Structure 1
């Protein structure tokens, strides 16, 4: 692969480089992390920002909007996503990114990546390069794509093809039964898909392969990424093929790729100072995740001074019972904080926890929609965390669980986040911006279920990852 000629490369344009929408809250924070810690200040809004709120972050290089599309049906997307995409188009960034989960959490009936692409392309792709790059892989978070198939490292430390991954193949909402990204997303859209494969990415043939896929009529073109070299090449293809404005699909691998290319080409310098937050005396945490990674983190926290407190999520099938359960758990969390411990309220310890089956049975026996109950659980955990933080005076917290984070963060009155310190790839510590004085300046981490080392909660407390 030939090195770029620096003399021929124009500098990065002034102003915004990127606008993006994240289909869940934790994934949205991951994009902000990649850009911010590369020296490109980024703000993440939790809803479409007003002009006044947007003006507060003048000079920032990327603007994001966090959403909950991953847990929504196509009908919801049709009603709610076009106004968001029009707002993204209005900011005028040369790149617009629909951020998806790095493990492709989606299906035709829920969180449809294909439906989102169909809605976004006419709005965000006009004037672009005539293609939609797709980068799902991100080696920094142990996601790899080879010959169109996505692989991820599991809690056992082994790389698994996604349809054989011990947790993703058993995902409670969108179980993965197909690792080929073209086939998986192809079930969700009429847009034709193509691939620039690993051989082309590694041998300098990527431009020709991309041109051939576009000539065959591919609208969405997946890019294989397995290492630093292919990551840089993906970033080059996207940046050089952006036209006036390009719409892209992918995980934070899009931003990792762009940053890798920009740094290799000398367009930005690597940061010289590490990002770090001071340690906190105590923190408060809530978790609605049933991922095995989070289960291990809860167990580690319990062995290292935290106070794990179980909440019975099955009670959420009855609103009155759920409010009583939230009150009980909040009282227990405040008591733990009063004793100098770090409360960690959780609903399950991994996918095999009997609580997971118990919740499923309670939903079925009451004839309720699982989405409605899950939304109620997430919102309830957010109200619980808000009460604990307000009452105890604590100023740092964690929300674990991709879907949980979105609904919980809404209850804190947060309208924007900026990145403070890296804790784990995809799950940074952030500063909250709120019109509510009690939560303005709150330090908060939103963690997806599969993200982070075993000591994640302790790392948030001390303000830095383990090295």
Structure 2
């Protein structure tokens, strides 16, 4: 079961399938800025699309699985898993949110693991949710995340406990996942990881565990987790987790002298104008909106209730207002709500209830409407830089931009880099785009992207 290496194998090292677009992009940026050229496709690529990119070490597919139910997964995941398995990468990763956004009925991580089993024959499925670089930590099975005001256990987290789709009521990762799958779930806890990780893993597998969660709090823990996964990969391993999986592998490869350290990436440079759209209702995004308004951005409202009702006037009005903002020499920030306490949030819940539709369908409509507004503005203005804020929003909005792939361009904070789009459509080819999860980024994030990103 233990694999010893003096060099990294040739070809694709990591293949991945992301359950939302922002998270999918976070994996690509981790690999790319870590020295491993990677590409993120927005669907299973054609052979011609794949051949446009040479020397790849990472290949991923972005999806909106996190916002869908089990029927959607039954239809869409098996073909994607089969295609990824065909790449024969040592590690194939089902990328989930670092705050474990999921439930038995929507975005089920357990369901995804069950559907992957026919394509991947490994003896175990490592589950690494923690990612210290973005202040997500797991200790003795419990997941913690940072927020304004400190670090909180996930079921007490001021954002995740109030998530509009999957509010977190259980911080123990093993118990949370046990609601979503019948697979036996084990744990390599901090004490085991720091002392006898391989023995602990063997013991968990021997008692019948298929999914084995791994604690991680520090950078040293991260490297140990990466070593545990890599040494026990057998003939190809299916893993589940946040971009912490890639952070862990990269840390181990560097510590083992299998991968050279990379130079700090530079900024893509400032632009005169930028367009931002946001469907996030997180407190983090709310602070970013407040900063943006004080620094050259004007807020434009897209009425989500009108969108749910199918009223095309909502998009038309938002486009007209955004063009006026641009004409006045400022940057439009088109949003559906300013944060968790915005009255619009309750209005949307009421509209969903009265319309007879599902939250899943309503969120898809809202995200698509934001994407449609962005697409119209890009075509009209010829601008080449934009931001989409909101994990679920990004996936639905991106479908309106006619892109088939993304590559990494310039970093910001981990998990929210500036990317470059690839398209057959001239208006979108070469688009510089940042995809930001609702809880990601510093208050000045929108301004940072306008300036071109880049590490300090």
Taking structure 1 as the reference length, the TM-score comes to 0.96
Is 2:180 the partner of 1:188?
yes
Question: Cα deviation per residue 1:186-222 (whole Å; 9 max; x = unaligned)?
Answer: 110010000000011122x111111111111100000
1:273 to partner: Cα distance? 4.1
Q: Residue 288 of structure 1 corresponds to which residue in structure 2?
A: 279
Question: Cα deviation per residue 1:369-421 (whole Å; 9 max; x = unaligned)?
Answer: 22112111111111100111111121100000111100111100011000001
Cα pair 1:169 1:176 within 8 Å, conserved: yes
Backbone CA RMSD of aligned residues = 1.3
Q: Residue 251 of structure 1 corresponds to which residue in structure 2?
A: 242
Which ranges of structure 2 fall in alignment gaps of 5 or more residues? none
Work out the CA distance in 1 between the residues paired with 2:354 and 2:148.
33
Q: Residue 402 of structure 1 corresponds to which residue in structure 2?
A: 391
Work out the CA distance in 1 between the residues paired with 2:126 and 2:17.
15
Pick from 97, 106, 109: which aligns with 1:113? 109
Q: Residue 207 of structure 1 corresponds to which residue in structure 2?
A: 198
Pick from 259, 262, 269: which aligns with 2:260? 269
1:282 to partner: Cα distance? 1.0
Cα pair 1:162 1:179 within 8 Å, conserved: yes
Work out the CA distance in 1 between the residues paired with 2:116 and 2:73.
10
Is 2:338 the partner of 1:349?
yes
Q: Residue 140 of structure 1 corresponds to which residue in structure 2?
A: 133
Pick from 442, 448, 453: which aligns with 2:431? 442
1:65 to partner: Cα distance? 0.1
Work out the CA distance in 1 between the residues paired with 2:17 and 2:215.
22
Q: Residue 65 of structure 1 corresponds to which residue in structure 2?
A: 61
Cα pair 1:459 1:466 within 8 Å, conserved: no
Work out the CA distance in 1 between the residues paired with 2:211 and 2:415.
24
Work out the CA distance in 1 between the residues paired with 2:207 and 2:280.
42
Q: Residue 313 of structure 1 corresponds to which residue in structure 2?
A: 304
Question: Cα deviation per residue 1:64-104 (whole Å; 9 max; x = unaligned)?
Answer: 00001101111111111000001101112111000001011
Runs of 4+ residues deviating >4 angstroms: none
Is 2:44 the partner of 1:52?
no
Cα pair 1:337 1:392 within 8 Å, conserved: no
Work out the CA distance in 2 between the residues paired with 1:40 and 1:360.
43
Quickly say closer, same or farther: Cα 1:21–1:87, change in 2 above 3 A. Answer: same
Q: Residue 26 of structure 1 corresponds to which residue in structure 2?
A: 22
Q: Residue 82 of structure 1 corresponds to which residue in structure 2?
A: 78
Is 2:167 the partner of 1:161?
no
Cα pair 2:367 2:397 within 8 Å, conserved: yes
The total of aligned residue pairs comes to 455
1:274 to partner: Cα distance? 2.1
Work out the CA distance in 1 between the residues paired with 2:334 and 2:455.
23
Question: Cα deviation per residue 1:42-71 (whole Å; 9 max; x = unaligned)?
Answer: 100001111111111121100000001101
1:312 to partner: Cα distance? 1.3
Q: Residue 144 of structure 2 corresponds to which residue in structure 1?
A: 151
Work out the CA distance in 2 between the residues paired with 1:98 and 1:213.
21
Q: Residue 173 of structure 1 corresponds to which residue in structure 2?
A: 165
What secondary structure sits across from 1:441 in the alignment?
Answer: coil
Work out the CA distance in 2 between the residues paired with 1:327 and 1:167.
32
Question: Cα deviation per residue 1:29-49 (whole Å; 9 max; x = unaligned)?
Answer: 000011000010110000111
Is 2:223 the partner of 1:232?
yes
1:275 to partner: Cα distance? 3.5
Q: Which moved more, 1:363-372 or 1:65-74?
A: 363-372
Taking structure 2 as the reference length, the TM-score comes to 0.98
Work out the CA distance in 2 between the residues paired with 1:337 and 1:61.
40
Work out the CA distance in 2 between the residues paired with 1:369 and 1:213.
40
Work out the CA distance in 2 between the residues paired with 1:89 and 1:154.
37
What secondary structure sits across from 2:118 in the alignment?
Answer: helix
Which ranges of structure 1 fall in alignment gaps of 5 or more residues? none
